[in-house]
Amino acid sequence: MRLIRGLTNLKMLSRREDSPLANGCVATIGNFDGVHLGHKTIIDQVKSKAKALGVPSVVMIFEPQPREFFQGREAPPRLMGFRQKFEALLAEGIDIVLCLRFNQAFRSYSAMGFIDDVLIHGLAVRHLVVGDDFRFGCDRAGDFALLEKVGYDAGFSVENTLTVTVDGERVSSTRVRDLLTVNGLEKAESLLGHPYRIRGRVVYGRQLGRQIGAPTANILLHRTPALRGVYVVAATLDNGARFDGVANIGVRPTVDGKRPSLEVHLFDFAGTLYGQHLEVVFRHGLRDEEKFGSVDELKDQIARDFDQARACIAENGSVKSAD
């Protein structure tokens, strides 16, 4: 799969004789946050049409996501970061991911400017899959009807996305996010098609966990997470080894944390994880994140968390497997 970052790189690629877009493409546009069952259905639509036409399949996403640009810190929490999203789209068999920078210049694009520069001259799109409520361009002036009208003259077709429902409700990133905020892990899994997970790089922290006998792998989160609290988790290392453990996700109020982070303690693990990318699967919620009166109180609670987590793992089964 190829990643194209930015409109400039797209334009440069489109001018090359060996461009993978030389014969056009089938594309879809969206945030694809979580890459849930609804997204996977859209991806299947795109791949099926692309195969029929003999052209690449393309997913267009944005960084930051539009609501993050407009709402800043008030934007909804992310379900996954960019790298994890890219890997998820790769796993679904998409040929090209186009990631466009959503900034002031981009949000000022007119609807026709977007169609001309990105869809026609950039992607040479032959078929587009978007929702019938899709809006684009400055002042959201572009819509499905405009795409159909322009596409008829420009030589590309437009198809409405299919809707996926679970228990009578449409599957959406908002619904998954709402479930995670109330610890609805099992229900969220039914919408995602897999347990909720976060993947990120282990960085150096304050090493407070090591000082109190509970060393953790610290994963820096660039956006506010949908989850907050203490969880039983299963973590997979770069080498494929898996370990059970406990994770705290939040801002660590007892030690005056400011930025959101994910701290993971792996049971029965010895070694260093700095620089590795850890995939953390959330299996069961233990408690909310809270501020304790002292580090000693925090240490005592962590010991109780570990005992409760081990009991939960013993009841539901361990995932541990080492190379």
| Residue ranges per structural domain of the chain | 2-166, 196-316
Which residues, 6 or more positions from 237, have their beta carbon under 8 angstroms from its beta carbon?
A: 243, 273, 276, 278
pLDDT tens string 199-248: 999 988 665 656 556 788 999 888 888 999 999 999 999 999 999 999 99
Q: Which two tokens stand for residue 200?
A: 């990120």
Residue 323 confidence (pLDDT): 38
Residue 224 confidence (pLDDT): 82
Fold of the domain spanning 2-166? Rossmann fold (3.40.50)
Q: Which two tokens stand for residue 12?
A: 């440069």
Cβ atoms of residues 123 and 26 within 8 Å: no
Residue 322 confidence (pLDDT): 40
Residue 260 confidence (pLDDT): 83
pLDDT tens string 272-321: 899 999 999 999 999 998 888 888 888 899 999 999 999 999 998 876 54
pTM of the entire predicted model: 0.91
Residue 134 scores a pLDDT above 50: yes
Strand-pairing partners, residue 203, are 218
Length of the chain in residues, anyone? Answer: 323
Residue 125 confidence (pLDDT): 98
CATH of 196-316, picked from 1.10.357.10, 2.40.30.30, 3.40.50.410, 3.40.50.180, is 2.40.30.30
Cβ atoms of residues 128 and 156 within 8 Å: yes
Do the bridges between strand 57-63 and strand 25-29 make them parallel or antiparallel, or are there none, so unpaired? parallel
Helix/strand/coil for 126: strand
Q: Cα separation of 113 and 108, whole Å?
A: 10
pLDDT tens string 70-120: 999 899 999 999 999 999 999 999 999 999 999 999 999 999 999 999 999
pLDDT tens string 35-76: 999 999 999 999 999 999 999 999 999 999 999 999 998 999
